[in-house]
Structure 1
Amino acid sequence: MEAAQLTCLFLLLLFTCELLPEVLAEVEKSSDGPGATQEPTWLTDVPAAMEFIAAAEVAVLGFFQDLEIPAVSVFRSMVQTYPDVSFGISTDSEVLTHYNISGNSISLFRLVDNEQLDLEGEDIESIDATKLSHFIEINSLYLVTEYNPATVIGLFNSVIQIHLLLLMSKASPEYEESMHRYQKAAQLFQGKILFILVDSGLQENGKVISFFKLNKSQLPALAIYRTLDDQWDSLPIAEVSVEHVQNFCNGFLQGKLLRENRESEGKTPKVEL
């Protein structure tokens, strides 16, 4: 079976729940006060644009030769909707040339895999708030991205082929500290492994847990998957620590599968590295 077919099969196994037709973020007004309006940052030269993109996990830039086109007002409306995304705008010809933009474009930049994704041409001419929201939702990947029906599309469109999942309930008393450590570990594998959180407290995520031959009594757990060949491994853990995550990832990269050892012993204990 070809790698692309294997990946599609994996997606069908894990995510057979219906994808939401549109996943739009609902956020409160800016903390600056009622009626306060946020604006994209103006980027007047290439160094400013480079610095702006490098400082953000997800940056969305409007590259416009003409500020009178409808896409500009649609772009500006997104700033209020996505407070976790950095929005910038530039009309400088050198900036547009630096990012290979020849006309009007809205481009999303991801720090996690150094990707630039562009909306241009006919996509820009027909853009509206719903289409742009959908583009941002499915393509926003962070050092740790929480799985939901929208982000799964962006995850499997990433050039990074190894995905690490933390299967843990967000209602757990240990969740906040565990996420802090998980994020620190994610920095060690930036560009090599995508780090994902799967909230095991959500019923719809049960298929993810069962795919990795785990049950809720074994959680929290780490699971790792390579899209190229469907290779995977899982590890129930008593505590999420940077060392545990790092050792598990390094072992997988070196071809060591812990689950094979557990299966050969006929047991699946909750262990620590």
Structure 2
Amino acid sequence: MILTVCANVCIDEYVRTDNTLILPAGKGVNVAISLKNIGLDAQCLMFMPEQSKDIFEAYLNEHNVKGHYQLTKGKARINKKVIDAYGNITEYSGSYVPVNKHLESKFIEKFEALAKDARFVVISGSLPAGASQDFYKKLINIAGGDKCVLDASREALKEGITARPLMIKPNIFEFNALTGRHYQNEQELVKECKNLINQYGVKYILLSMGGEGALITDGKKAYSAHMHNDNIVNTTGAGDSMVAASLKCILKGQDIQDILKCAVAAANHKIGHLEPYIKDTQYQDDSKTVLIKEIT
């Protein structure tokens, strides 16, 4: 079983010229559904505003994902995402439902019990208002860094990386914020990634760069890849799809070249439809056509 953590759930309302789609969401939710759709057992632990539990429970049941809930007050925030004909998103985010130290402690109790039976743990997304900045670090320390994947930003990433997770998957903006720098080329990025691996003991860094593709390094070798797509419908969930696909490769003992190929193919597969998750294993066939290059 793979356990995903979604500390900050939301309701996403996708508005296009031809239709509107409303879905329960959050990065941990998207990862869990993606994992299930590619043949892996996944469960999701969430802070859950009590007035929104029913809709999330029904949604996860529909996708055969078991949900676990630490209830909070109120309703889940609503994110309205207006998508133009080119797949560009203008987002209007609702207010966060806050948590407190007591709720954090109750969440950690649930997490500790679930993490014992998990092969991997995926901790992703932003922290809710009121949460400790080192909340994800605490979770990684409890589960054991060697089985945790961290996909976060800001202080949650800065604190979390010190717990030595197996892999981090920042996007380029999150990476720049983490290091306090901007980079001119892939060589500079890889050099900084290797520095972080040496400093913190992370095994893999998978860096997504939007339209520029992605790169991966284990501190020794580094590769980049790009896959063109003329049919961009919605980019939300592309990073979550990368996490799910890369974890499947890691479970199979594949090398970083295959991890990168599958991650890029999964993201490319996802952006071709509106829903924020991988729908099936078609990306695995597509991964065979992904061209990668070694970065030296």
Q: TM-score, normalised by structure 2?
A: 0.28
Q: TM-score, normalised by structure 1?
A: 0.30
Give the structure with higher Rg (CA).
1
Larger strand share, 1 or 2 = 2
